[in-house]
Structure 1
Amino acid sequence: MGASAKWERGSVVQDWGLAVVVAVIQLAGSSGANSHQTGVRSLDAFAYLLLLAGPIALSLRRVLPEPVLLVAFVAAVAYVLRDYGFGPIFLSLIIAFLSAAIHGSRWRTYPVVAVGYLLMVWPLPALLGRHSDAWQIFGLLGWVAVLVGIVEGVRQRRTVVLARAQRAEAARRDDEAQQARAAAEERLAIARELHDVLAHSLSLINVQSSVALELFDRKPQQAAAALATIKTTSKEALAKVHTLLHAIRSGTSVAPDYPESTVTEPDSIVPAARPEPPRPAPRAPEPTLEDLDTLLERTRATGLDVDTKIIGMPKKLPSVIDVAAARIVQESLTNVVRHAPGATALITLRYTPESIGITVDNTRPTGTAVRTGIGGNGIIGMRERAHALGGALTAGPRPSGGFRVAARLPARPAALSPPEARAESVNGEQARA
């Protein structure tokens, strides 16, 4: 607020200073020009009033540019038509025209130039019997063209600057939108990773704790086995959470952006090697279809009967596809354990040259489902994971009873979002290790 008021006071001082300078030039210059011209009327009080009208109006040129132009124009026309001769009175008119034409409308300012030339230079002065030579007629016409050219140049420059500012603002907004999208993708990836790490283990813990409570008095040995499974599963889940948090904290650092040097170095000078960006923190290996047997052992420990069926020739898949397929199987079996106790499950893997099909079927449940009190996001997460890789996933009840999860993933991912691309890189390094 204070800076704006200070700027406005500075502008007023500049405008009044300009008005004083123009007034001095017009008064002194016009007196000298009038005395050296023959056949013109001597300056009188009205002439001095006209010489002061334009400079006084210039003090308001920023606030009222077009009315100031009109005052300066009327004063100059009256001065010339009263036959006081030519002189510096045009200075205030030129400044007023530049101020109004640059910031205002061409349709309201450019006609002033044409009308002024007709009234003050040619042909009206010639019709009134005033002497006009070729220098005045063509020379002033050339100066008028230069004046209009200056205005057009300034206007074009202002247009270019404004366009650049608008492009910069649009680029800034686009960068902010991209950063927001990247942040949203990162949050989604972290949420999906947390779900994948915890949901399966916590579901097993929930089921085994229910079994332990139910069998604690009647079958203590089975209850003890369930408690042992809870201990092992919770320990592994804690280890996974720790590694995930460490990866989130350590893997977000970005290598500094080193600008390219603008100085051309001799060929004999070898530029110093740039430090490599820090590598992501080590993480626990992601489950893959090669670990299917290990994955099923823990699920079978809950009492779920799981069979597998493979159609086609198994092949090595890209790590991001392999991990996604294993996660879909894991989440599907977790849902069976939670919502269909006593059911049996069948995992079918169908390999083709273009894709891999994953189907997890379970029969009708024979027991009571465990109530956790909250709804899950497993199917949503599986569908998002499949779509991100260019695949598809459906889930729903089977006509014969039970539930089916069917997914199709491409043999090669169509496109990867930044979080998925980083996951592909990390998984590839883990596979090589």
Structure 2
Amino acid sequence: MQRPYGFRRKGPPTSFIAIAVALVQVLGTVFAASRQDGARSLDALAFLLLLAGPAVLLLRRRMPVLMVPLTFAAALAYLLAGYPWGPVVVSFAVSLLLSAAAGLRWLAWLGAGSAAVTVLLWSLLGSDESWPLRVSAAAAWAAIFVLLGEGFRRRKERVAEYRRRRAAAEQAERDEYRLTLARDIHDVVAHSLSMINVQASVALHLGTNEPERLRPALEAIKAASKESLAEVRQLLGVLRDDAPLHPGARPGLARIPELVEHARLAGLRVELANPVDPAGVGEQQQEAAYRVVQEALSNVRRHSGAAAAVVRLAVVGNTLQVTVDDDGAGLGGSEPGNGLTGMRERVEALGGSLALLPPDGPRPNKGPNRGLRVEARIPLGTEGTGP
């Protein structure tokens, strides 16, 4: 079952660990004491020492450095007091695991070494002939708990790193989505409002001087505003999560003649040369080409003061080439705005390039109206076809 976003699997709480260890030590020792003869009977001090180790585990969050020495001291005090043998070392073993898991490797290995040395001295002082076996077993078990803690720590680090990468990827995806949406909004609003503004200016002029040409200008304003409202509603639907990012018919090569016709209605002489068959071009490449032509023609009308422009489309090899030439003043010395930045981002996102050049190529300008060429090269990928 998929976990909800933000859910984090955590280990058992420290209080649960302490209670479980206390039950094991107390009940296990009581059971073991009933089968041992000659040992000191369990009294209040014995139970206090049996509970001291588990209680120290509660310091896991606040003072983890005290767990190993205090649990070791509690277990050693219990055994030195002559009480019956039992699972009194469980809290010490758990402290080794928790310390290693918390990154206190030096402390965990120091505790494991201290346990092995203690067992060695205990066996030698007691003249235990099997001391090598006891010492080896104690050292092995202590090392096992430390290594288990190391394993938990490394797993925790891997999980944390995975979560960081996933969060970064999700943030990058959200940023890219917002950037794409911002470009769409700019392309729709800037283009449509620009044309409406130009046509409104024309209509004001014609209303006084040439009334017979007023109706076509008003019809162009109506068509542009209708198209703009439809696209804005679609984008608002995206913001409400009611629609995909590109609902309905996506802008493509088939709609470039509409852009040319709108520019003509705005008073710009525009020629569309070498139209390309949309069937051989992918949807993303088509939309990028459409937005390049849309923004280029919008800039021609708003900034360059051009009278004519030429839009050329061509498939060369595995690349869709889009060029828009005009006879205006170009950028007029101003820096590229959001529209040109958005065009470049769209094209580069598909592995292509976009350049602003003189119409006949990269040569020095010879006058203020040298003109400007917007040239985009968009790789077609596996969806494209050759010429």
Fold shared per TM-score above 0.5? yes
CA RMSD in angstroms, aligned pairs only: 4.4
C-alpha spacing 1:160/1:217, structure 2 compared with 1 (3 Å): same
Matches within 5 A, 1:201-220: 201-220=192-211
- How far has the Cα of 1:72 moved from its partner? 4.5
One of 283, 292, 297 as aligned partner of 2:261: 297
Choose 1 or 2 for highest CA Rg: 1
Q: 1:323 to 1:167 in 2, by over 3 A?
A: same
Q: Aligned partners of 2:182 and 2:51: how far apart in 1?
A: 70
TM-aligned CA deviation for residue 402 of structure 1: 2.3
Contact 2:29-2:88 at 8 Å conserved across structures: no
Q: Which ranges of structure 1 fall in alignment gaps of 5 or more residues?
A: 1-6, 35-42, 80-86, 126-131, 253-279, 370-374, 415-423, 425-433
Q: Tell me if structure 1 keeps the 8 A contact 2:96–2:112.
A: yes
Answer yes or no: is the 8 Å Cα contact 2:306–2:326 preserved in 1. no
Tell me, yes or no, if structure 1 residue 98 matches structure 2 residue 93.
Answer: yes
The 5 Å alignment of 1:16-415 reads 32-33=37-38, 55=50, 58=53, 60-62=55-57, 63=59, 64=66, 65-70=68-73, 72-73=75-76, 76=79, 88-91=83-86, 94-95=89-90, 97-104=92-99, 105-122=107-124, 124-125=125-126, 132=127, 136-138=128-130, 141-245=132-236, 249-252=241-244, 283-284=248-249, 286-288=251-253, 290-310=254-274, 316-364=280-328, 377-395=338-356, 399-400=365-366, 401-412=370-381
User: Quick check: 2:53–2:70 contact (8 Å CA) kept in 1?
Assistant: no
Identity of aligned residues (%): 30
Matching residue's letter, 2:38: A
Q: Could you report, residue by residue, the CA deviation over 1:84-118 in whole angstroms, capped at 9, with x for unpaired residues?
A: xxx65554863464355444534432343444344
SS of the equivalent of 1:357 reads strand
Equivalent pair of 1:212/1:227 in contact (CA under 8 Å)? yes
For 2:153 and 2:90, locate their aligned partners in 1 and report how far apart those are by CA, in whole Å: 23
Ranges in structure 2 where 5+ consecutive residues have no aligned partner: 1-12, 60-65, 100-106, 360-364
Moved more, 170-179 or 13-22: 13-22
User: CA separation of 1:151/1:297 partners in 2, compared to 1, >3 Å: closer, same or farther?
Assistant: same
Q: CA deviation at 1:386?
A: 0.8
Shift of 1:391: 0.8
Cα separation, 2, equivalents of 1:411 and 1:336? 27
- Separation in 2, partners of 1:8, 1:325: 61
Report the Cα distance in structure 2 between the residues aligned to 1:113 and 1:331, rounded to whole angstroms: 76
CA shift digits 1:35-84 (9 cap, x unpaired) = xxxxxxxx8xxxx999789557546543544144246536746x6xxxxx
SS state of the match for residue 291, structure 2? helix
Q: 1-side partners of 2:257 and 2:44: how far apart?
A: 104
Cα distance change, pair 90–110 in 1 and its aligned pair in 2 (3 A): farther
- TM-score when normalising by structure 1: 0.64
Q: Give me the whole-angstrom Cα distance separating, in 1, the residues matched to 2:51 and 2:230.
A: 83
Q: Residue 378 of structure 1 aligns to which amino acid in structure 2?
A: G
Displacement after TM superposition at 1:326 (Å): 2.8
Q: What stretches of structure 1 move > 6 A for 4+ residues in a row?
A: 7-30, 48-53, 311-315
Instruction: Check conservation: 2:313, 2:322, Cα contact below 8 A.
Output: yes
Aligned length: 344
Kindly indicate whether the alpha-carbon contact (under 8 Å) linking 1:393 and 1:406 is maintained by their aligned counterparts in 2: yes
CA displacement, residues 146-188 of structure 1 (integer Å, 9 cap, x when unaligned): 3433333333333333333333333333333222222222222
TM-score w.r.t. the length of structure 2 is 0.70
